[in-house]
């Protein structure tokens, strides 16, 4: 009996089903590469953006996330909700903002996991006038291997401050833009006056390259960093005594008496928060306090001698 030859629609169906199987295998291969650490999730996302109809672009965001080590189904759903991405979305079909949020999530997560290894994110916080800026300046000068984050602020530069070294001095519009674009790791309004924030990418880039990073920020910022990167080491800088703190604030002579009184009220609340921190360093002597902070950073090379 003559064999029944496939009709054109059958040929199409067979070809389509073979293509579907091949595509599924290709997607499974990509997921395997992520799971085994052969490709990073960020690399796969970049490939999906480059070519939305390619194998990476056809990956559902849900399967992509689950293939990342240590992300299970529950966590994946939480992440999807937080990033405001619907479960039906594929990597290649994400809108720009969704893509940006996903990239930012992956970058921060990678950096946070880096902290498990040698590179450390150390946050130096403490009450007004305890000497945070002075200790940070000493570290900048004497320990060139320490990556000191440069904050953005809406306040004006003071005499002697340099753009890009002391701070990035920006106006309110630019600060709003940075916050909206997710460019800040944390930010806060400090002393009820100006806004200050830590630009995210220099921190995550340095950590991803294995460098320890130091942030000199206020206590609200330290709490926000703890939420974003739970492995960060939080250091609370203490004055030798309350009277010495008052002396330093008044002696610095940069605030009006009314502002000094307000800051001292806040300082009482801030001192009460020291238990939230991992380490406490008393700033008797600037060089000593700086060394104690640097010791927490797992530097690979020796500091410069004074």
Q: Report whether 128 belongs to an annotated binding site.
A: yes
Asked if residues 51 and 92 have their Cβ atoms less than 8 Å apart, the reply is yes
Q: Report whether 131 belongs to an annotated binding site.
A: yes
- Pairwise CA distance, residues 160 & 202, whole Å: 24
Binding to ligand ATP (CB under 6 A) within 147-206 occurs at none
Q: How far is the CB of 291 from ligand ATP (least distance, A)?
A: 12
Contacts of 24 (CB under 8 A, 6+ apart): none
Q: Report whether 230 belongs to an annotated binding site.
A: no
Exactly one of 62, 128, 149, 198 binds ligand ATP (CB under 6 A); which one? 128
Q: Report whether 282 belongs to an annotated binding site.
A: no
Contact between 183 and ligand LQESDW3C per CB under 6 A: no
Contact between 270 and ligand LQESDW3C per CB under 6 A: no
Binding to ligand ATP (CB under 6 A) within 214-253 occurs at 248, 251-252
- Residue 104 or 218 with smaller CB distance to ligand LQESDW3C: 218
3-state secondary structure of 277: coil
Exactly one of 62, 107, 108, 151 binds ligand LQESDW3C (CB under 6 A); which one? 151
- Residue 183 or 218 with smaller CB distance to ligand LQESDW3C: 218
- Pairwise CA distance, residues 153 & 289, whole Å: 26
- Per partner kind, with CB cut-offs from 5 to 8 A, the member of ligand LQESDW3C, ligand ATP, none near residue 220 is ligand LQESDW3C
Which H/E stretch holds residue 187?
A: strand 184-190
Q: Report whether 133 belongs to an annotated binding site.
A: yes
Q: Report whether 110 belongs to an annotated binding site.
A: no
Sign of the torsion formed by the C-alpha atoms of 203, 206, 208 and 212: negative
Asked if residues 306 and 142 have their Cβ atoms less than 8 Å apart, the reply is yes
The contact mask relative to ligand LQESDW3C for 213-252 (x = CB under 6 A, - = no) is: ---xxx-xx-------------------------------
**Burial class of residue 273 (count of CB atoms within 10 Å of its CB; 0-12, 13-18, 19+):** middle
Q: Which two tokens stand for residue 144?
A: 């060139």
- Buried b / exposed e over 233-264, threshold 16 CB at 10 Å, is bbbbbbbeeeebbeebbeeeeebeeeebeebb
Helix axis angle for 132-142 and 286-295, nearest 10°, is: 70
- Residue 178 or 219 with smaller CB distance to ligand ATP: 219
Residue 183: how many CB atoms within 10 A of its CB? Answer: 18
Q: How far is the CB of 252 from ligand ATP (least distance, A)?
A: 4
Contact between 211 and ligand LQESDW3C per CB under 6 A: no
233 forms beta bridges with 122
Q: Which stretch binds ligand ATP (CB under 6 A): 165-173, 206-214, 279-287, 298-306?
A: 279-287
Binding to ligand LQESDW3C (CB under 6 A) within 189-208 occurs at 190, 196-198
**Burial class of residue 67 (count of CB atoms within 10 Å of its CB; 0-12, 13-18, 19+):** buried
Asked if residues 214 and 297 have their Cβ atoms less than 8 Å apart, the reply is yes
Binding stretches for ligand ATP (CB under 6 A): 128-134, 248, 251-252, 283, 285-286
Binding-site positions for ATP: 126-133
């Amino acid at each position: 009996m003559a064999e029944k030859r496939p009709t054109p629609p059958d040929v199409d169906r067979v070809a389509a089903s073979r293509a579907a199987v091949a595509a599924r295998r290709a997607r499974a291969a990509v997921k395997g590469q992520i799971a085994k650490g052969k490709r990073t999730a960020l690399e796969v996302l970049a490939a999906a953006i480059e070519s939305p109809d390619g194998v990476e672009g056809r990956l559902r965001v849900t399967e992509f996330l689950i293939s990342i080590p240590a992300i299970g189904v529950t966590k994946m759903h939480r992440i999807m909700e937080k990033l405001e991405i619907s479960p039906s979305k594929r990597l290649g079909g994400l809108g720009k903002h969704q893509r940006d949020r996903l990239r930012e999530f992956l970058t921060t997560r990678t950096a946070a996991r880096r902290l498990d290894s040698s590179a450390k994110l150390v946050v130096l916080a403490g009450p007004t006038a305890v000497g945070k800026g002075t200790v940070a300046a000493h570290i900048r000068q004497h320990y060139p291997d320490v990556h000191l984050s440069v904050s953005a602020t809406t306040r004006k530069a003071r005499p002697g401050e340099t753009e890009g070294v002391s701070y990035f001095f920006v106006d309110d519009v630019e600060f709003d833009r940075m916050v909206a674009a997710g460019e800040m790791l944390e930010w806060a309004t400090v002393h009820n006056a100006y806004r200050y924030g830590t630009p995210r990418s220099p921190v995550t880039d340095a950590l991803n390259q294995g460098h320890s990073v130091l942030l000199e920020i206020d206590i609200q910022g330290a709490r926000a960093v703890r939420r974003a990167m739970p492995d960060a080491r939080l250091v609370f800088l203490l004055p030798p005594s309350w009277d010495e703190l008052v002396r330093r604030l008044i002696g610095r002579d940069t605030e009006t008496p009314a502002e000094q009184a307000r800051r001292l009220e806040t300082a009482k609340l801030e001192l009460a928060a020291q238990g939230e921190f991992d380490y406490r360093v008393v700033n008797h002597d600037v060089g000593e306090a700086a060394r104690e902070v640097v010791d927490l950073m797992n530097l690979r090379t020796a500091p410069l001698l004074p």
